[in-house]
Structure 1
Amino acid sequence: MRLLIATVAAVGFIGAAAAVTSAPEDGGSTVSAVKEASAPSRYRVVAVGQEGTCAVTKGEALSDRLAELYVERTCSTVMPGLEQARYWREASDGSVTFAKADGGAVLEFSVADGVAYETFRPHAPLVSLVAMR
Structure 2
Amino acid sequence: MSDLYELQLAWELDDTLPGEVLDELRWHLGLRPPAGSDLDREPLLALQGGALRIGGILGSEFQPGERGWYLAARQELHAQELPDLYELLSSVAPYAVTTDPVGQLRHYEDDIADLLLVHGGTVVRQPQHPADAQPAPSLNA
What is the TM-score of this pair, normalised by structure 1? 0.29
* Structure with greater Cα Rg: 1
| Structure showing the higher helix proportion among its residues | 1
> Which structure is richer in relative contact order (CA contacts within 8 A, separation 6 or more)?
2
